[in-house]
């Protein structure tokens, strides 16, 4: 463990880091501390439960979804280096500052159905270069390969920040006494092989045959072609599932299914799939839809959905090969 603070780390010239990008990341981290404090109060603050309306995705918003979204919008739209914002919770993008160098996209509270049962939730963010002095919605339509930084804050037993600026993945842990993010793990690596998988098995009847084949092999364990037993884990919060993979490898699947053939997948390309793909790839893992590399997809709309198969490289490649 290092005593390096997030601020000190961001002063280094790693990857895509510039002083301006560092300022944006610091603002996101500071805002996430505020979200963390609201979460810590939980029922005491009267912030649990439904907000009584749906977001643009047609999902019931929790009070803390709305609060977290407001915190991030308020902090970033006045930031001199931010040209525009996009949130999973809002229909359209939010204009910010003229000549801002970066666009920020975020899922303010991933896994918010976990809030009311006191389980882990998180904030996911993606940072893209701004294309114009005044941001237009078309400026957000950049493939994941264009991201200059990505990360998440996990609100769990300890509050952690996972970050990549294109030079590997690092973990910071929030010191509850000093309220400072301290570097706790450098050069996070996802091993190519694993014996853990995560998938929402309740959708099994809707899966395509390649996914059924793959999961059947894992469930058969030593008695199948895999010749080893697997464990299933499912947090119902992408931040929690990806954090587990970054800590001890694994594969996470939210594949295309036939329940609603008009929806390509459940997870959002811009707010979830791209930032998580950047983190996993920077740690040596892989991320595909089952057919194409996620970070090479050219977005066509702000709230585009995609299937996600992500994690240990050999497992992701195996499922992907079944699709072809």
Annotated binding site for Mg(2+): 88, 107, 109-110, 272
164 contacts 128 by C-beta, under 8 angstroms? no
Distance separating alpha carbons of residues 287 and 289, to the nearest angstrom: 7
Concatenating the DSSP letter of every residue in 234-248 gives: --SSHHHHHHHHHHH
Q: Which residue has the tokens 């040209």?
A: 83
CB atoms inside a 10 Å sphere around CB 33 = 16
317: enclosing H helix or E strand:
helix 313-323
Q: From the annotation, which residues make up the binding site? A: 88, 107, 109-113, 200, 272
Q: Which neighbouring-strand residues pair with 267?
A: 306
Listed residue (214, 189, 276, 211) closest to 239, CA to CA: 276
DSSP 203: G
Distance separating alpha carbons of residues 132 and 139, to the nearest angstrom: 7
Per-position b or e across 154-175, b if 16+ CB within 10 A of its CB: bbbeebbbbbbbeebbbbbbbe
Distance separating alpha carbons of residues 246 and 244, to the nearest angstrom: 5
Tokens representing residue 181 in the block: 């993010």
34 contacts 69 by C-beta, under 8 angstroms? no
Q: From the annotation, which residues make up the binding site for substrate? A: 110-113, 200
- Look at residue 174 and give its three-state secondary structure: strand
CB atoms inside a 10 Å sphere around CB 106 = 29
Per-position b or e across 207-223, b if 16+ CB within 10 A of its CB: beebbeebbebbeeeee
255 contacts 211 by C-beta, under 8 angstroms? yes
């Amino acid at each position: 463990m290092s005593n390096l603070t997030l601020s000190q780390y961001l002063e280094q010239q790693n990857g895509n880091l510039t002083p301006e990008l560092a300022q944006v990341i610091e603002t996101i981290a500071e805002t996430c501390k505020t979200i963390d404090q609201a979460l810590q109060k939980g029922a005491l603050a009267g912030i649990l439960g439904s907000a009584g309306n749906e977001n643009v995705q047609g999902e019931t918003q929790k009070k803390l979804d709305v609060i977290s979204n407001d915190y991030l919008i308020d902090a970033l739209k006045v930031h001199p280096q931010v040209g525009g914002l996009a949130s999973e919770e809002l229909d359209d993008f939010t204009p910010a500052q003229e000549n801002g160098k970066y666009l920020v996209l975020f899922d303010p509270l991933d896994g918010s159905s976990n809030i009311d049962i006191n389980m882990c939730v998180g904030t996911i963010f993606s940072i893209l270069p701004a294309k114009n002095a005044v941001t237009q919605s078309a400026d957000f339509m950049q493939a994941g390969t264009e991201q200059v930084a990505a990360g998440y804050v996990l609100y769990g037993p300890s509050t952690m920040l996972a970050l990549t600026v294109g030079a590997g993945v690092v973990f910071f842990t929030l010191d509850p006494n000093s309220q400072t993010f301290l570097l706790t793990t450098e050069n996070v690596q996802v091993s190519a092989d694993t014996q853990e998988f995560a998938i929402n098995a309740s959708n099994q009847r809707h899966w395509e045959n390649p996914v059924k084949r793959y999961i059947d092999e894992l469930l058969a364990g030593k008695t199948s072609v895999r010749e080893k037993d697997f464990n299933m884990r499912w947090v119902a919060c992408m931040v929690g599932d990806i954090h587990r993979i970054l800590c001890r490898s694994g594969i996470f699947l939210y594949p295309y299914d036939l329940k609603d053939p008009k929806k390509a997948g459940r997870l959002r390309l811009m707010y979830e799939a791209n930032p998580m793909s950047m983190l996993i790839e920077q740690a040596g893992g892989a991320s595909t839809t089952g057919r194409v590399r996620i970070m090479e997809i050219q977005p066509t709309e702000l709230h585009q959905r995609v299937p996600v198969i992500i994690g240990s490289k050999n497992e992701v490649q195996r499922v992907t090969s079944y699709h072809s």
